[in-house]
Structures are given as structure tokens and as C-alpha cells.
Amino acid sequence: MALDTQTDVAQYDAPEKDLYEIGEMPPMGYVPKQMYCWCIRRERHGDPDTSFQQEVVDVPQLDSHEVLVLVMAAGVNYNGVWAGKGVPISPFDVHGAEFHIAGSDASGIVWAVGDKVKRWKVGDEVVIHCNQDDGDDEECNGGDPMLSPSQRIWGYETPDGSFAQFTNVQAQQLMPRPRHLTWEESACYTLTLATAYRMLFGHHPHELKPGQNVLVWGASGGLGSYAIQLANTAGANAIGVISDESKRDFVMSMGAKGVINRKDFKCWGQLPTVNTPEYSEWLKEARKFGKAIWEITGKGVNVDMVFEHPGEATFPVSTLVVKKGGMVVICAGTSGYNTTFDVRYMWMHQKRLQGSHFAHLKQAAAANQLMVERRLDPCMSEVFPWEEIPHAHMKMMRNEHKPGNMSVLVQAPTTGLRTLEDALEAKR
């Protein structure tokens, strides 16, 4: 029998109302007129503690291929920080809506389905991946949906994310929820896990292979903690980078072969102009970092892949330490976008620079299956109540969050619940 087989939907009585309090359950499948959400508006772009405000708005209307999901818990991601700040772009310049509900990860219950939806029914327990597209072009039909001109991230480039009681998603965004996890654990992982999956395994012929070495920046973070675990599932060796010794044990416990503290080196930021004394100093220090990697991989063994996302601070070093013919794969520029590198190493050592962005359904589903099969730890670091959604984003913005991935409760009344029955019982 499959590990995760959904049983019958719980029966319960509840009144029909136009608006429910957070954690209060409407009757199964009953859609109220309005809902609570955390809203960003253009005029208050700034840090999350001011840009996110609680509001009551209309529940979104369903299109024929869409599904309305009652959000039990939501995941905290860096794109909520970017959306709140309106940096590097304002989400309002992308979707043009009046308000923006951030949140690109959720676990929840299918509450209503459009009339063309065949694969899901009311009561199904799901997690949501954040890639949307219109599905009608060549890339969506035989190519790579992540290259579609209509590709967009739900809850970042669409106005209707998961920091709300209900969210409206495309049917293809749904995946079965790992039923051994709590609502909050199942809400915390999909965005970063699927992104890490595509980065490591989605760029042929540089898919990470058994026995290979990969350097993982921010190894205790959302992306990094899954990159380490995914490298293990492939039989590869992950070398994790941290900035604080308190994170070392966590990264080793995820299965890293070794850990390096970036605070022990001084080669961060943009590359100094080549052939200046500053460059020589930088190169000496960057090679010291390279030797720290060799202490883990073996003398002279450079990494096959670098898993990049800090960007400006680390890119010159990433491109130096990756092996001849190896790949630096990058999905973000948290420390800055003006990345620099010494191009001589690029052509003479025939290295590959590869951009990567989230994942398509097949990649997200493959990653989710590993979670369903209990081969990955969701690494949920902290779970916050609904009221503390801005606070959780402030922690992330300041790099003060604990190792792993953060979650917030939405309709789940408390932590530790694994089913709708659990939630109803806890509410009683």
C-alpha cells in the first residue's frame, strides 16, 4: 500500500457565515464571501513589519481550471521580504492588482474546484507548489514550463498568495500532502526544496552524480538545508558553508561531508580589479578558502558544482573554486546583484554558469515524493502564530532565523496536528 493514502473526509457541523475567525472552520466546501489576509499595498512598501497589514478582503473567484484551497499553514520565504520591500521590483508592477497577498508555500484542504478540474476533489489534503503558467505555449507543451513567457510565481508575481484563509491556485500546482507531517511541517518546504532539486538535477549534463562534490552556500538556510539532503539522496558529497559555529552541528546532521565557516575568510564581495595588489590579496584569501574545501574533498579535488544564491558576496569565489568543466548554478542574489568574476577562469577552465529558477511540476513532484517517502527531513525551524507573520519575515530579513525553514499557522488551530480530524478535535 502507498505510504500516503487519503482516507474519507471528516464529517462535522459548522454554521454558514460570511466571514470566519482565524482557525474557525466553515462547513466543508462552503465558501464565505470574505476572508482575513495579510496584505501589502504599494503605498506602504518597506520592511515586513510595516508593509504587511491584516485586512479583510473578498475570497477570490475561481476559474474553470483553478482550485480554492483552505490554507491550514503557510511557509515563510524570502520572496515575502522582497514583496514587502518592493525590491528589486514592486509586485504591483507585475500583476497590477490593488493589493498583494504574499506567501508562496502552503498546506491545506481543497475547498472548491473549477468545472474543468479532474485530478482533485473537495476534502483532498494538499501542498502547493508556486509555479504558474498559462499552459498554452510550446515550452509548456514539450519544452520546459519554467521557460514559458507566461511563467510566474504564485504569491510573488500573482496577488493571491498563502497568507490568507483561502488561496486560489491552478490545479497543476497541487501535490499530495505527506500525511506523516503536521500541517505546519508540510507547509514549510516546497518552494525551497523544489528550487534546490532543479538546481542540482535540472541542468543536463551537469546533474549532480554519485561521488561528486558540491559546495553549498547558506547550508543552514531554506535552500541549503535541502541541497545538503538532496545531495545525499544522489550519493554525492555536500560541503556546507555557514557564518556561525552554532549552525555547524545542524548542517552536519543533515548529512554534509564537511562544513566551512565563511567568517574565517576575507574574500567576500565584488572582485577587485585584476592584477592590482588588492586582487593578489583577494586571490590569496580565496585560495585559502579553496584549500579548506580540499581538506574535505581531498588535496587538489575541486568541487563539481557550486550551489549559489548569496550572489555578489560569494560569486567571485564560487567561479574560482568550481572545477574545470564544472557548474556554478545560481538562483538568487541575496547579498547584491552586481556579481563579478575573473572571466579567464571561465574560458580557460571551461566552466558553466547556470541560472535556475524554482521548478516545473515534474521536478516539484519528484522532490515532494522524496518527502512523502520520508527520505527528507522538512527541517522546520520555527512555527509562528498567524499574528506573527510580519515578525517571521523580519527575522528572515535580518538573517536572525534559526536553521531550516519557518512556518506559520493559518487555519490550523495549534501546532502538532496531522489531519483535519485533529484540527476539529483541537478546536473543540
Ligand X SMILES: NC(=O)C1=CN([C@@H]2O[C@H](COP(=O)(O)OP(=O)(O)OC[C@H]3O[C@@H](n4cnc5c(N)ncnc54)[C@H](OP(=O)(O)O)[C@@H]3O)[C@@H](O)[C@H]2O)C=CC1
Ligand Y SMILES: C/C=C/C(=O)SCCNC(=O)CCNC(=O)[C@H](O)C(C)(C)COP(=O)(O)OP(=O)(O)OC[C@H]1O[C@@H](n2cnc3c(N)ncnc32)[C@H](O)[C@@H]1OP(=O)(O)O
Dihedral (C-alpha) 23, 26, 32, 34: value to the nearest 10 degrees? -10
Q: Quick check: 197 binds ligand Y (CB under 6 A)? A: no
Could you say whether residue 340 binds ligand X (CB under 6 A)?
no
User: Which grid cell is 235?
Assistant: 550519493
Q: How far apart (Å, rounded) are the C-alpha atoms in residues 195 and 353? A: 17
Q: Decide: is 89 part of the binding site for ligand Y (CB under 6 A).
A: yes
Smallest distance from ligand X to CB 81, Å: 7
* CB nearer to ligand Y: pick between 221 and 326: 221
- Residue 315 touching ligand Y (CB under 6 A): no
Contact letters for ligand X, residues 170-209 (x by CB under 6 A): ---------------------xx--x--------------
Minimum distance of ligand Y from residue 93's CB (angstroms)? 8
Residue 41 buriedness (CB in 10 A; 0-12 / 13-18 / 19+): middle
Residue 88 interacts with, from ligand X, ligand Y, none (CB under 5-8 Å by kind) = ligand Y
Of residues 259 and 364, the one with the C-beta less far from ligand Y = 364
Member of 178, 310, 378, 413 binding ligand X (CB under 6 A): 310
From the list ligand X, ligand Y, none, partner contacted by residue 310 (C-beta under 5 to 8 A by kind): ligand X
Binding mask 233-272 for ligand X (x = CB under 6 A): --------xxxx--x--------------x----------
Query: Residue 158 has which C-alpha cell?
Result: 500573482
221 near ligand X, judged by CB under 6 A: yes
Q: Which positions from 216 through 275 interact with ligand Y, judged by CB under 6 A?
A: none
Rounded (10°) CA dihedral 271, 274, 275, 277: -20
Residue 89 binding result from ligand X, ligand Y, none, given CB thresholds of 5 to 8 Å by partner type = ligand Y
Contact 165, 20 (CB under 8 A): yes
Distance CA 79, CA 101 (A): 12
- In the list 37, 39, 72, 79, the residue contacting ligand Y (rule: CB under 6 A) is 79
- Measured from the CB atom, the residue of 78 and 282 that comes closer to ligand Y is 78
Euclidean distance between CA atoms 405 and 40, whole angstroms: 22
Written as one string, the DSSP assignment of 69-134 is EEEEEEE--HHHHHHHHT-SS-THHHH--S-BB----EEEEEEEE-TT--S--TT-EEEE--EE--
Q: Does the footprint of ligand Y cover residue 397 (CB under 6 A)?
A: no
Helix (H) or strand (E) holding 344: helix 343-348
CB 394 within 8 A of CB 47: yes
**Nearest distance from C-beta of residue 291 to ligand Y, angstroms:** 33
Q: Which of 419, 388, 350 is nearest to 6 (CA)?
A: 419
Q: Residue numbers of the site for ligand X (CB under 6 A)? A: 77-79, 191-192, 195, 217-218, 220-224, 241-244, 247, 262, 309-310, 313-314, 331-332, 334-335, 357-358, 396, 399
